[in-house]
Amino acid sequence: MNKSLLVQALAKFMAGIILMGLLIFIPAGSVWYWQGWLLMGVLFVPMLTVGSVLVVKSPELLRKRLKSKEESKEQKAVVAISGLLFVAAFIMAGLNWRFDWLILPDWAVWAAAGVFLLSYILYAEVLRENAYLSRVIEIQEGQKVIDTGLYGIVRHPMYMATTLLFLAMPLVLGSLISFVIMFGYIPAIVKRIKSEEALLQEGLEGYADYMKHVRYRLVPFIW
């Protein structure tokens, strides 16, 4: 087991818990915001499980997933915008609960939690299928086109899963206002996908043919 990788993963995991807790519960003004605890549970328990498996079974893939420094200014901007959307959505969700502006019914919150978990299963399946899944846009040494499983349905199943995850988050928090804010993630991820495909089409052998074979980028039969 790579101890430095384990320490890095645990540090990011704990930082994520602390940051999300602060962004949710300080605006809420209370630790009794149960939807906030629900989101943290459905997010961090599966994350810890998947991370533990990767540490043992696929440390190199985990290292790629921990990498977050983009090289291009365009992608740095996309990452920055996405981060601002998350911060705004979490803060607004806490304020929404605190001041009782527009709270979703409990059944809708639990349904969103179910969608979130199903989306995380899709996310884990994509990790299983593709060992080249870096968090930054790049072409890796020895990289090959993956065209089986979910990659036979859409060209970017990881982005499909994460988009579902991100849109489900504000609903788990019970906030329609935050859900509207998170819709700003869609044009950001569309821009990222187009940039990534331009790079892959130019530098990854067989990707242009793959694009002809699998027509849809993110949503089957739509786009």
Domain residue ranges of the chain, discontinuous segments joined by + = 3-213
Q: Tens digit of pLDDT for each residue in 26-77?
A: 999 999 999 999 999 999 999 888 888 887 777 777 776 776 665 566 667 7
pTM: 0.87
CATH topology of domain 3-213: Four Helix Bundle (Hemerythrin (Met), subunit A) (1.20.120)
Helices 157-172 and 34-57: crossing angle in degrees, nearest 10, is 150
Q: Which alpha helices (DSSP H) does the chain contain, by range?
A: 3-28, 34-57, 59-66, 73-99, 106-129, 157-172, 176-182, 185-203, 207-213
Specify burial of residue 57 (Cβ count, 10 A radius: 0-12, 13-18, 19+). exposed
What are the C-alpha distances in Å from 107 to residues 52, 81, 113? Answer: 31, 31, 10
- pLDDT attached to residue 135: 61
- pLDDT attached to residue 147: 79
What string of H, E and C letters represents the secondary structure of 57-119?
Answer: HCHHHHHHHHCCCCCCHHHHHHHHHHHHHHHHHHHHHHHHHHHCCCECCHHHHHHHHHHHHHH
119, two tokens: 């989306």
**Under 8 Å CB-to-CB from 205, ≥6 apart: which residues?**
145
The percentage of residues in the chain with a pLDDT greater than 70, rounded to a whole number, is: 89
Q: Tens digit of pLDDT for each residue in 84-120?
A: 999 999 999 999 999 999 889 999 999 999 999 999 9
Other beta carbons within 10 angstroms of residue 220's beta carbon come to 12
27, two tokens: 């605006």
**Under 8 Å CB-to-CB from 20, ≥6 apart: which residues?**
39, 40, 43, 90
3-state DSSP assignment of residue 175: strand
**Chain-centre distance for alpha carbon 81:** 14
Rounded to the nearest 10°, the torsion over CA 97, 102, 105, 109 is -60
